[in-house]
A and B are shown apart, each in its own frame.
Chain A
Amino acid sequence: MARSGPTSPDRGAARRPPGWLGPGVLAAAVVAWEGAARAGWLVPFYFPAPSRLADTLRELLVVGFPQGVGMGTHIGVTLGRIAQGYALAIALAIPAGLLIGWVPALDRLALPVVTFCRSVATLSLLPLAIAWFGVGELSKVLLIAYACFWVVLANVVAGVKYVDPLLVRAARSLDTGPAGIFLRVALPAALPRAFAGMRVALGVGFMTIVGVEMVGTIQGLGALILEARTFFRSDVTLVGMAVIGLCGLALSTLLERLERLLLPWHRGLESVRR
């Protein structure tokens, strides 16, 4: 608007770092690392040089580690496990969260349970999961689901519970009954938080996978890292970590895009900074 003209050139824009800064810093770090390694300042076992890691990646892609189990398999198996556990968690947590958030009595009942279960580190359940569900895929998927479930649940509950009461009053004044308020006010109002929970849960899934894959499998990025330890291959560990990180980054970005597509009305600070 013209009225805000003189002050409108966004001072935030000037402070925002240029786009090349992130990749630039990263590239500089890699170059410095390589230089330090070649100069002999770094012990190769602890800090393998980037060029060495590139060779390792090639080895993992072509030969596989252990031999015959290629990088594609590791990635595919890991993503498959995460996808199943994550999907299961979301499928259960969203309806449960909507219900708990909507019914105050359920919320009071559920709050200590949710807090308790969230506090139990998922990996501490690994022995129990193996005893109950065996060392196969089921244990792994269920543990990932467990880890993701509580995060999504807590966020959906909060999303419903903290719906702006003004919006509820507005809906009531527009002849909207309880069912309408639940479906047409509470549900959409909870979506941004549900998405936030889903983004965090995805990260939790990736954090959990390494531990979960330490038992009963040689396939998957977690198994790869564990196997590398057995053979003193720190380079393989590092490449495995990097690949996990990149997968997490890619999926998180995808989820963010999806959120923007599905919730065009929810832009928060972004629209102010533009």
Chain B
Amino acid sequence: MARIEVQGVAKQYAEGEGGLALDGIDLAIQDNEFVTLVGRSGCGKTTLLNVIAGLVAPSAGEVRVDGRPVTGPGGGKGMVFQQHALFPWLTALGNIEFGCKSRGVPAGERRAIAAQLIELVGLRGSEAKYPIELSGGMQQRVAIARALALDPEILLMDEPFGALDELTRIEMQDELLRVWSSRKKTVVFVTHSIWEALVLSDRVVVLGGRPGRIRLDLPIDVARPRERTDPRLTGLYGEIWAYLS
């Protein structure tokens, strides 16, 4: 059984044909798979991610995680947002511990979890800083650690590196792959960068049209670590581009 099953999902935001954001989405995502949703702005990729997250209810169809219908956010589904969405009044450490506090994890255990994650995402020395004192890349590291603190089976990422400059972005992609390989998670990653999708994922799902439908579901059979200049990736780039334009 797939980890995540999306079946016949549609989302209508407003009356009429123009209000239909997504239609007839079927998607099965396996355990530990890294799947990227790619598409133009407004193609419904973020909507689909929010439906999987349980933040947005579908107008039709259903999303199941481990066979159980999704009824709300949380519960083993961690999220990372485009704008870091960190709580500005909490330090990096406070942000990372937020979910554990919600779940009532005892303080000692919470500290231990946070300390591990701070090491993992490379935040040592910045624990006591407020989000406003951190660079964009560091903020997203905190956001990733915060999402991982509840040890979710699924990590949903909505253009997490979209606001970063090119160099930081590449650095963060490598970091994410490192984190992902050390803590196996099922990842659904939204981006509009084809390169980002090619470097990161096992499978690239291209969404397009209005309402958004799946145009292409492309496995990336290139072993990791991937060279960004690999000619096979360049070939796949062309294939994806053809479906986007």
Q: Which residues of A contact B (CB under 8 A)?
A: 1, 164, 166-167, 169-177, 180, 184-185, 188-189, 191, 263-267, 271
Residue of A nearest to B75 (CB): A175
| Cβ-defined contact, B85 with A174, below 8 A | no
* Known interface pairs A173-B74, A176-B102; 9 further A-B residue pairs with C-beta atoms within 8 A, sorted by A's residue number: A166-B85, A169-B79, A169-B81, A170-B87, A173-B79, A174-B78, A174-B102, A175-B103, A177-B102
User: 0/1 per residue, B205-243, Cβ < 8 Å to A?
Assistant: 000000000000000000000000000000000000000
The answer for the CA separation of A1 and B138 in the assembled complex, in Å, is: 13
Contact of A267 among B86, B132, B147, B150 (CB under 8 A): B132
The answer for the CA separation of A192 and B55 in the assembled complex, in Å, is: 28
21 contacts between A and B (CB under 8 A): A166-B81, A167-B87, A169-B81, A170-B85, A171-B87, A171-B102, A172-B55, A172-B72, A172-B74, A173-B78, A173-B147, A174-B74, A174-B98, A174-B99, A175-B74, A175-B99, A176-B74, A177-B102, A185-B87, A265-B88, A265-B132
Residue of A nearest to B156 (CB): A173
| Cβ-defined contact, A271 with B132, below 8 A | yes
The answer for the CA separation of A191 and B101 in the assembled complex, in Å, is: 21
Q: What class of interface size applies to chain B in its complex with A?
A: 20 to 34
Report B-chain residues with C-beta under 8 Å of the C-beta of A180.
102
| Cβ-defined contact, A170 with B79, below 8 A | yes
Q: Which of A169, A170, A177, A271 has the most CB of B within 10 A?
A: A170
Report A-chain residues with C-beta under 8 Å of the C-beta of B81.
166, 169-170
Contact of A176 among B78, B79, B99, B147 (CB under 8 A): B99
B146: interface (CB < 8 Å) = yes
The answer for the CA separation of A153 and B130 in the assembled complex, in Å, is: 28
Chain B residues numbered 53-80 whose CB sits less than 8 Å from any CB in chain A: 53, 55, 72-75, 77-79
User: 0/1 per residue, B124-135, Cβ < 8 Å to A?
Assistant: 000000111001
